[in-house]
Homo-oligomer: A and B are copies of this chain.
């Protein structure tokens, strides 16, 4: 098999497992079993577990950038784009209910571990924060764009944590509706 393809498979499996079970609770053996490789052979592709995490975060960053660019194409207005972000807790509802927010839970875990790669995980948040800020700026609220961006981000994290804890879909729907109303007061 192609080496680059195997590497991609590893990152893919690690990404999923890190999200579902957490970084620390996922062992090399788990990833190896998921990909179908022998445990020891791993070090040909990645020289440490941190290196896999590094690749996983890089993949997520690239994927997020791609998604945001796609949202910009699909929704012409900034308020439509912000709403698209808000609704992520619905479109990804089942995953969030089972595993929480991939960005939030990773940040929380790495912070508690005192992990070196904490800063790069935070970059995932920053990506959304900057993008949301741009949308609010375009909406004509440049003066408080960052504050509003953080508010929307806080909404998504709060909903994700409680959806994860209580598995209550109706709650998520109500919060989104509440957010939609709030957002409409900021439209031009």
Interface residues of A (CB under 8 A from B): 20-22, 24-25, 99-100, 104-105, 107-109, 111-114, 122, 125, 147, 150-151, 153-159, 161-162, 164-166, 168, 171, 174-175, 178
- Partner of A165 from the list B25, B111, B155 (CB cut-off 8 Å) is B111
State the Cβ distance, A34 to closest chain B Cβ, in Å: 16
- Partner of A104 from the list B111, B161, B166, B178 (CB cut-off 8 Å) is B161
Closest partner residue, chain B, to A144 (CB atom): B174
Task: Report the copy number of this chain in the oligomer.
Answer: 2
State the Cβ distance, A25 to closest chain B Cβ, in Å: 6
Task: State the CA gap A158–B60 with chains docked (Å).
Answer: 21
Q: Please report whether the interface of chain A is mostly helix, strand, loop or mixed according to DSSP.
A: helix
Known: A100-B108, A175-B154. A21 touches B161 (CB 8 A): no
Closest partner residue, chain B, to A126 (CB atom): B166
Judging by beta carbons under 8 Å apart, are A22 and B162 in contact? Answer: no
State the Cβ distance, A101 to closest chain B Cβ, in Å: 8
Judging by beta carbons under 8 Å apart, are A147 and B125 in contact? Answer: no
Task: State the CA gap A25–B107 with chains docked (Å).
Answer: 15
Judging by beta carbons under 8 Å apart, are B164 and A154 in contact? Answer: no
Q: Which residues of B contact A111 (CB under 8 A)?
A: 99-100, 164-165
